[in-house]
Each structure stands twice: as C-alpha cells, then as structure tokens.
Copies of this chain bind each other. A is one copy, B any other.
Amino acid sequence: MVEYLYLFINVDKWVTDESATPFKSFMNIRFFDPEFLREVAHGIFTAFGAPAAEAAIVADHLVEASLMGMESHGVTRILQYTQEFKAGRVKPAAPITVDSETPTSAIVDAHLNFGQVGAHKLTDVAIAKAREHGVSIVTSRNFPHTGRLGAYTTKVAEAEMIGIATIAVPVLPSLGHFVVPFGGREGRLATNPVSWAAPGTDRPVVLDMSTATMAEGKIRAAHAEGQTLPPGNVIDAQGRAITDPKDFYGPPRGNILPLGGDLGYKGFGLGILTALLGSALGGENLTEVSEHHNNMAMIAISAASFPDPENFRQRVQENMDYLRSSPPAEGFDEVLIPGEPEFRKYEERIRTGIPLPEKTTWAEICMIAREFGVSTSVP
C-alpha cells in the first residue's frame, strides 16, 4: 500500500478546477453514494472486530466529513486506520474508561479504541457533567486519530451549550512535530486544531480551525499534483520561505508556520493552549514520543446556568444575522458564518454523491475490503 501518499489530495479542487483536468482524468474521479460508502466502511471496521455500534460511529463520522468537503478527514482515512489497526495502534472494541472523575471533570481513556469512539464518549461525559453542574472539562488519554473536531463541538451545541474543544498532537514516531514556534525554524507543534460551536435557530455555528497556516496534507497534495504552495505558509529546514513542496519534504524536511504571518505569535499561542489543555493538565507531556495520535480537551458550558436560556439560540442567531448583513468585500459574494461552507457542501454532496479518485483511494479501499471479506459491488 502506498503509505499515506494519496490520503489528503484535494479532490474537491479537481472537480471544480479546470487546470487540473489532466490530473483529474488520470485519477478518474467517481461519485459515490454516501450510504454505500458508509456500508463499506462499517463492514471493514466490524471486520476489524469493532462492535456494530462503534463501527457505525466511525463510518458515520468519515462519511459526514466527506460530505462536508473535508477530504482530509473523510473516508480516505479508512486507509490510515487500516494501517494503524494492523500495527496494533488502533484496537477496536477496547473498553473506554472514565477516570479521575469529579463532578465537573474527567479523563476519558480510549485504550486505543478508535479515536471517534473515544471522542464521542468524552463529549457525552462533558455534556452530562455540564447539564448537571453548568460547566465541565473532560480530557483524553490513549486516543488515536479523532477525525473532525467540529463534529464533537457540534454535538455539545445541540445540547444547548457552547462547546470549546482542542486537540494537541504529541511527537509521533513517523512525523515528529512540523509546526514551528513563532520565530523558530524547527517544528515543535502539530497543526493542533481549536473548535467551538453554539446552537443557532437554523443550524449550529461551528468554527473548526487549525492553529497553523496549512495542513501537512495540503502540502502533500500539492506535491502529488506538481503544484506550488501559496506564499507565507511553509519554510525549509533553514527557515527560509518556500513555495515548492519539494523543498518542504527535503531532506532535510521543512516546517509549517503558525497562523498569523507577522502576527504568528497568535497562532503559536493558540497552539500551545491545545497542548496545555490536552496534555499538561491531564498529566502528560507533549514533548515525549507517543504512539497515540490526539490529545483532546472539551469544555462544555450550559446556557441553562445563565439567565434566559430559552432565547439563547435566538440571540446567537441574531448575532449571526448581524454579521451576515455586512455587504461583501471584493472577491466575495456574501459573508458566511463559521460552519456554513461545510453545511452547503454537505447539501450539495447529498445530491451529487462523494467524489473519490477511483484509481487510488477507491482502489485501495477495495483492496482492504477484499482482504477483510467486505463487498464493494455497488448495489
């Protein structure tokens, strides 16, 4: 199996970008029924030994991310999770435990069960504690890759709360840290995301952002497609600004800048917060090499602790309407509130299906399915 190489390619760009036509035809994009992909994923994860309900959590999560246009967190991750399952770094059906519990806090240990299974449990615990005590913080232990962080803050928002979540990635044996501190030239952080969500009257408002300028997956995709990177995101091993992905992969390998450009101390500072909440608080140290992927923290704040919770959604919505009422700047059609682009893509793909490169990602998923006796014939 080609390790990771095609995992994060920006399929959506090919579909809309004329200049990518030769590559697109080479990759042979095909649109898949989400329900079919969900069944294939579910079949594979149950074949790994996951109970049906847990396999469904992971399959639903990946298909939803693909529907939202977040390829890097979508069904292509089946490839990574299979590798990790085979290497013993994902242990389906492992018991999830709730440790170090207080009325307002806990540490959820996934014992290397799928990250999504751990993160849903962690989120449920955070919601239950905030429902009873107003506010809570729950952190993780032994979580593999949890997927799209916004999925979990959205779940908190649906419970009439504000959810604030972070993920810090420890030093992984294969990848190390490739986001530099502001003013530094060697990686000391990952692209550690921050997400928050709140309920609106139409749908939740969801911010889900990396604290770096660029995901490593996007550099990989540009590399595979022979394209250059937008300036201001990536540096080579000497700390010089680069736009050619070749110079990033070296060797020696380059690094990614924190969010903010000249104000990169802001992205750097937010990245550190993810490390303190997800690791230092719970007793871990991000500087140690770790086999597990994601150190997660969730803060849940119930609107019910504050006056007038009945109208909380309405107030959020009024604020969003006010923001949206700004006329667009040059080059924009309208102001979109956080989460709106993903919800729109979701609605589009529910109709069009999910695009996947047939000769790489889909072919590899089929190989895995065959290996585990899961059917991939389109019904």
Contact = CB atoms under 8 A, between A and B. Distances in A.
B338 A280 contact: no
Nearest to A340: B265
A25 interface: no
Nearest to A133: B104
A279 B230 CA distance: 37
Contacts of A182: 335-336
Contacts of A308: 283
A242 to B, nearest CB: 12
Stoichiometry (number of copies): 2
A230 B263 CA distance: 12
Contacts of A285: 315, 318-319
A303 B104 CA distance: 12
Nearest to A195: B269
Contacts of A277: 162, 301
A184 B260 contact: no
Contacts of A107: 306-307
Interface size class of A (residues with CB under 8 A): 35 or more
A191 to B, nearest CB: 12
Contacts of A184: 323, 326-329, 332, 335
A137 interface: yes
Given A207-B272, A287-B319, 11 more contacts: A100-B306, A135-B137, A139-B306, A183-B334, A184-B326, A184-B332, A207-B273, A265-B336, A283-B307, A285-B315, A286-B319
15 contacts: A104-B104, A105-B134, A107-B306, A182-B336, A184-B323, A186-B326, A213-B263, A230-B262, A239-B329, A239-B330, A275-B319, A280-B312, A281-B306, A283-B306, A283-B315
Interface of A: 100, 102-105, 107, 133-137, 139, 162, 164, 180-189, 196, 198, 205, 207, 209, 213, 230, 232, 235, 238-240, 259-263, 265-266, 268-270, 272-273, 275-277, 279-287, 299, 301, 303, 305-308, 311-312, 315-316, 318-319, 322-330, 332, 334-338
